Every structure is written in C-alpha cells, then in structure tokens.
Structure 1
Amino acid sequence: MEKIAIDKALAEVRQAQRVLVAFYQRVKDIILLMRTELGVEHCYWGTMQFSMPGTSANDLVHPQRWSWDALPMADVVFSHTKDGNWSSKQTVAQMVEIRLITDDVFIVNGKGYDPSPMSMPEVTQSDTYLEITVYQVQRTEGDDWGNDWSVTKNRIKSVPNLTLGLHRNDDWQVYRQRFDFSQLRDKACLVEQMITFKQLLTVHGFEGFSKVANEIS
C-alpha cells in the first residue's frame, strides 16, 4: 500500500474507534437505566461468541487467538440479580441478562465463526440490538447454587438458542425479548418500553416486577 492509502486507512481506524466509544457510552447509559427500571443489580458480565481479552499474562496476539477476541463488546451479556448475588438462596430465584449484539452476523452463522472482515456480508445485511432474557426458577433443597447457578447450567438446556418469547417447564420459566435501538432512542422511550416489559413479565408469572413498576412510578 502507498503511504497515502495507509494514512487514509489508519484515519478510518481512528474514526471507527471514536464512534465505538461513543456507541458504548450510549449502551452503558441504556443498561444502567434498564437496571434501575427492572430493580436489579450487576452480577457479572462475559462474552458470548468470543473469548475475553484476558489478563496481562494472556497472549492476545497468539496465532491461535481469534482477532475478534480483541473486541469483546461485539457480543456481550450482562447478568443481574435482585441483590447482585449470583449464589442467591431465595426459594424463587431470578436472573436478568441484558445482551448487546453489535453484529448479528455471528448469530446467523453460529458460534465458532471467526471471519475475515473482508469476507463478511455487507453491514447493511445484519443488525445491532439489545436482548433481555429473564429467568425464574424454583429452588429445591440440596441445590448447590454457590458452585453451579442452576438457571443457566443444569435445568435449562441450550439457553443461547432459545427463541424470543416465553419458555417454561415445571420448575422454571424464561422470557426473552429483543429491543431495537430505535425503541430506546431517548429516556422516555426506554422507560415506556421497560414499563410494558414489566407488565408482560407480571402477566407471565415472574415475581416482583409489578412491585418495581409501582415503586418507580
């Protein structure tokens, strides 16, 4: 590449990075408001399609590492509980996951997909959105929740593959809904979406969300 072409490409990298930072700031604000509206606290976060960048001792540029591992926010999930404690001992326990899907080309093509950006579909052929999944389970005597949070490990199989809507069994139920960013364009729209979402959760038998709605209003 000639120097002019290289300089132009690097300028595009810098511009893309600044756009990403502005986007992530907006995402942070949205998730913080969602937490408040739903009455939950941060528990942990992790990546879905890729590995975390890791600690300083982790070789991020190792030949076997995916290039997409350097962008953990491309597909990331933030997990929440009522008190921020993932090993809750409550009889009825809940977990709320807010997932940021920056490019759903990875959802379409499946896990284990590490494409070259040059071979990916056009960006206009994929979507960016948030997805909220609420889990509720009945805790039985003997559950070792400190080591194995049974909502996502034992009782509900293939959690990432669950479709949108309501799923339930004898002792657990899951509700998943997608939110496009056009629905969350400002605080008023976001609050309205969360009110409707909490009403749906209450109708489907998820405990505690009608109380949250009343307290906030």
Structure 2
Amino acid sequence: MATHPLWSDDYWLLLLQLYLKKPEGMKALYSRALVDLSLELHIPPKNLYEQQFKLRHRDTPIIELIWDTYAGNPRKLNKDAKKLRSMEGFGQPKKFYDGVQVKETFERDFSPMADYPDLKPIMLVMILDLYFRLTPITMAEETPEVQDLAKLMKIKPQLVVEVMDVFQFCDPYLNRDDLMISSLLLPCREIWDRYGNDNPEKLSSFAAQLKEYFR
C-alpha cells in the first residue's frame, strides 16, 4: 500500500509507542488503540496497520534509529511523543480550496451519530451483519444473538432491534410499504448501500474484524 499523503516520519514515534503497549507487538487492524491513533492523525487504520509491518521489520535507517533511541527508554519515548502531540499543527489534516477540512469516510464511521450518540456507523455495520443472520421474527430483544451483540457494543438490545427494524425498510426483498419516520433511516440506508448489496461473506469478515474495536 502506498504511503498516505498525511503520513510524516515523525509519526514513527507514535506508532512505536503503540507497538510497545502491552501486549507488545502488532495491533489488530481495528483495535481501539490503533483506530484512536488513526483518528488522531486522520490516517485510515489500514495505512497504520501496514506501517506496523515496516516498523517491526526495521527496514529503513530512520526506523532503525527510532528503535535504537526509544525502544529501551520508555520515559523518553513518552516524553517526546507528548511533545510531538503538543506541536502547532499536529493532527490537523490538509484543507481544500476554501478551508473546508478533509474528513475521510473512516472518521465518520467511527464518530458518534448526531441523533443517536450511542451509535456509530461501524455499529450499524455489525448490526447489518447480524440482520442477515436472523429472520424478521427473531429480530427481537430476547434473541440471544441480539443480546450478545448489544453487550459487546455496550448498548441496549432495544437499540439493536430498532436499527434492524429500519434495515427492514432498506431491504428490497421485504417490500415494506408502511411509513417510516426515523433519523436512523438515512444512515442505515447509507450502510445498506455500501454493504447490503455486496457479498455477505465480505460483510461478515469486516464485522468480525470490527469486534476488536469493542474488546
């Protein structure tokens, strides 16, 4: 994968700090710590995940220097990482013509939804994956799979069911023609358009990876 345009060699310091966190080593693609760093740097998790391989292999002189300087000195690492974060312009993405900030899809996906702050779009992805595993009659609060997913995401089963009900309006096979008035309809439709018509195995694989974020 090509290096992201917002990547800076200064960020090797932060990536090493993440790598050395217990348990030391490569962090999962959607682990919360890696996603949090992605949001901080405005660089997608996949790019940082790939950079971890370079860090582990120490395949450039600058990476080797960073290892030699900081790996055995966590106090210096934490101090310099804190200093880097305090520098003017840190974490500020490039801007387009009129100063509108760049906000990538992944940032929106991991951000709370305006009308439902307990939900993030990635949670809709996980609910959609479960939606395809159930039938309408089992999309209920007492269904064990619904309860398990709600517990994992730290939300109420009722909210999972509410999202599934909205997905039924997005599902062309159900032909729901009754009226739906919900601020969830637009974000659910967007997630359905992105994943609902694709290979269900891809959705299932993605949802399985996203579980790391909630652990």
TM-score by structure 1 length? 0.22
Instruction: Specify which structure has the higher proportion of helix.
Output: 2
More contact order relative to length (CA 8 Å, sep ≥ 6): 2
TM-score by structure 2 length? 0.22
Instruction: Specify which structure has the higher proportion of strand.
Output: 1
Larger Rg belongs to: 2
